[in-house]
Chain A
Amino acid sequence: MKRIVTHLSLVATSAILATGCVPVRHNLPPEQRMMEVGPGVGGPGPGVLGGMSAPSAADLAAAAAPEAMPIAQSDTVQGSVSDGEIGLVNYMHPGAPSDSPAAAIAAPPTLQVSFRNPDGMQVRYDATGNGGFDSEPLIAPARQNFPQGGLYRVKLTNIPNREGVELYPTVELAYANPRTGAYLAHNSVPVEFTEEDFDQVLTGNFVTKVIYLPDPEFQGPALAGIDTLVSTRLDPGVDPIVEADRRGSILAIIRLGDKDVEMSGAGADSLASMMTAPIPGLPAPYAPAMTDGCGHCQTGAPSGAPMATQYGMTMSATPIGIPGPPHLPLGQPAGLQKHVMRNHTAVKMPRPSEKIRIDVRNQPGYRYPATADRIRITSQNLNP
């Protein structure tokens, strides 16, 4: 043992000697690294990553030594970091052949809204994004594609038997999710107004209607056949949105009041759309819908695009302190205190390492010129 130590010290001295021979070069770390506190300190930590991507072991290691270690990304780690999905990617993110050259055109996911009742009613929407209702009027029954996940103001005119009445309901369209994707890919969302709706609004009430897709699994057979729910009022205090969300998946929410948003001074600047129409001719949303996430979801799988977040999978690495996985109620204040996932897979793998020590050695190392610690100033005047 002692021998080795002496050998090592010999090597060290020889190295010093060797460096002493070559001309001295000064190497500074890259500019980016100079900005950070130190290796591993400036990088993102677990649970605080932006977006929905989970930090993986590769990320941590990369943060610890940004350039020094070539790391095989996602070979050892299941999660595909770039897509913002964790594990189990085969379910929702199949490696489909990208056989569609047309799919490269970026079109927003849309859904079709059909305005059905009453017949002859005219519907206008914001087609340019400047806040007006400047589209060609749709005469019910009519259909129009709307981008998913938006809040739209529409203007109803020419309502039969109600001359001169103009109403400005909002239509909030949800993003498609795995439950509603098949329906939205084949059917339109029916938007209907009844005489009673108009009566309620004109007498100063506010009507909220929710269109939802009943969930075959969660709606028990006990409720089968009771479609009187459609036209029945809910008890006071029962939120139709909450109720519809329990019974299925919400497709659209219609809010109808008697506010005239085109009247001068009626908050004209709040009328201006936050967004412009993604494609000319499509309705421009007034505000984004408040559904959580899934803005990138596709209703179908045209070219293997990622479609939805996994059921039961968390969106961040440490679920403690955040709302639960998607099958738990979303939108709650941070309340989850315990999150138990049991893994019953037969696993024969080496034990996980409990501590990782990462030794970083950059070559060539860093060398600054020695700072000045002594200054001599000699001043000489030749011609006094």
Chain B
Amino acid sequence: MSEITTLQTRLAAGLIALAFLFEGRVSGSEPADFLPRGSSRPLLRASDPPGVVGQARLTGRGPVVGYYQPVAITGPKGVRFSLPHAGNPSPSGMTVPAQRLEAGFLIGSVYRFQVTHIPGALGVELFPTVEVIDRTYPPQHLVTRYPIEIQLDDEDFQTALRGQMVTRVIYLEDPQTAIPELQNPKTNVPLEISEFQDPLAVADEYGRPVAIVRIGSLTPPSQPSLLPEFYFGYPQWAPFPHASASQNADQDEVPSELE
């Protein structure tokens, strides 16, 4: 069924492309061309404004208000991450850049973080956002050992630097439908989907969506009074306890204090 549909759509695309070749002009589209294919429209989509999906979780199953969900963000070698720290005495107002950004994030709040030291684009900073939309349920003593692992790769940053937007939905994999492959930074590649699919719906098929990362090339506004809007009102976050942080620092190949 789906194969037939794709075949049809490809035929249609080819015909339209042919029409372009001959006419060189684009005629107006029929309004019916742009009606949704399916009969339904999900209420929550990854393309919703940041915060909407997470806020919907707050009123959903079980109270998660006030829970700081541990999250760890890693990237390619050399890339550093830091978080805005309102009231930080340092001039940049950011935390110390680290190779592995670890913090507890409130569900439903949107956190903008800073990416620096991008390979091949030295001096360039990116400001993606992360939105935690669900929590995990680890045993008490393992809370900070098993944060939500968000691994960004170089293509994310290069795509954003080209002016496009990357939406990543991180999901907790269902072990019964898991991919039979050892997960390491090399094999942990995202599932690429087309522009016409909803990443939230796709992630929901393979597991439980827990976070949305959106990467674009927006830069901080030059007016300081616009900074609260840019940083989504500086929502609170919780640093990891020190013991676990040092344990994780051991796993970094390069200590973050260097450079």
Contact = CB atoms under 8 A, between A and B. Distances in A.
Given a CB threshold of 8 Å, the question of whether A touches B is answered with yes
Interface of A: 90-92, 94-97, 99-100, 102-103, 105, 107, 109-110, 112, 114, 143-145, 176, 178-179, 181-183, 185-188, 190, 214-226, 228-229, 232-235, 237-238, 242-243, 246-247, 279-282, 298-304, 307
A94 B109 CA distance: 11
Q: Is the interface of A mostly helix, strand, loop or mixed?
A: loop
B61 to A, nearest CB: 14
B26 A218 contact: no
B175 interface: no
B108 interface: yes
B75 interface: no
Contact of B222 (A107, A144, A304): A144
Contacts of B163: 114, 187-188, 190
B26 A235 contact: yes
Interface of B: 6, 9, 12-13, 16-17, 20, 24-29, 31, 33-37, 41, 43, 46-52, 55-56, 58-59, 65-66, 86, 106, 108-110, 127-129, 163-165, 167, 194-198, 214-219, 221-223, 225-229, 232-236
Contact of A226 (B17, B128, B129, B219): B17
A218 B31 CA distance: 10
16 contacts: A94-B58, A95-B58, A97-B106, A99-B233, A99-B236, A107-B226, A110-B226, A145-B223, A176-B49, A186-B127, A221-B6, A235-B28, A237-B28, A238-B27, A300-B49, A301-B52
Contacts of B234: 100, 102
Contacts of A299: 49-50
Contacts of B226: 107, 110, 145, 279, 282
B30 to A, nearest CB: 9
A94 B55 contact: yes
A223 B14 CA distance: 9
B228 A105 contact: yes
B36 A217 contact: yes
Interface centre among A94, A95, A279, A300 (most CB of B within 10 A): A300
A233 B26 contact: yes
B118 to A, nearest CB: 16
A307 B110 CA distance: 15
A226 B222 contact: no
A307 B35 contact: no
Contacts of B43: 91
Contacts of B228: 100, 102-103, 105, 107, 302
A179 B47 contact: yes
Contact of A246 (B34, B86, B221, B225): B34
B195 A214 contact: yes
A102 B129 CA distance: 18
B232 A243 contact: no
A238 B25 CA distance: 11
Nearest to B50: A300
A182 B49 contact: yes
A143 B219 contact: yes
A99 B66 CA distance: 11
Given A188-B218, A222-B12, A279-B223, A96 B55 contact: yes
